[in-house]
Amino acid sequence: MPVPDLGDPRPPYVQIADDLRKKIADGTYPPGAKLPSQKALADGYRTTANTASRAVRVLADEGLVKPHSTMGTFVLKEPGEPEPDPEFVRLASAMEDALRRLDKVEERLAALEQGSGSGPQ
């Protein structure tokens, strides 16, 4: 059945938002993926750019996508996926930073060991 379906009592932008939500959930547009431009969505759904824009706005209000004025609209998460705990995000970021620093220390240590011609004793 084509979207939007003229026999469906829901507004076309709601039908398009629902279809895009399904495509995000099934992996057609995975997290990090860029959605087609609003003009491409309007052409694909055979509707106006304003209707496509409203559909994208619905998904943005739900936190599923993030529109960027110059780069396009990107998928943030899958429907139903909970928002990460801010403390977890902070700790995960700190851990990644510590691991990057540890890698640099290990690289420097290996270079020093090679330069001195002796390994650990």
What is the predicted pLDDT for the residue at 24?
93
Tens of pLDDT, residues 12-50: 999 999 999 999 999 999 998 999 999 999 999 999 999
Give burial (CB, 10 Å; 0-12/13-18/19+) of 28: exposed
pLDDT for the residue numbered 77? 73
pTM here is 0.63
CB 32 within 8 A of CB 41: no
105 pLDDT tier (thresholds 50, 70, 90):
very high
User: pLDDT tens for residues 79-103?
Assistant: 666 666 677 667 777 888 899 899 9
On the question of pLDDT at 6 being above 90, the answer is no
Distances (CA, A) of 69 to 37, 38, 75, 79: 11, 12, 15, 23
Please name the residue ranges forming H helices in 1-121.
12-25, 38-45, 49-61, 86-116
pLDDT at position 118 is 57
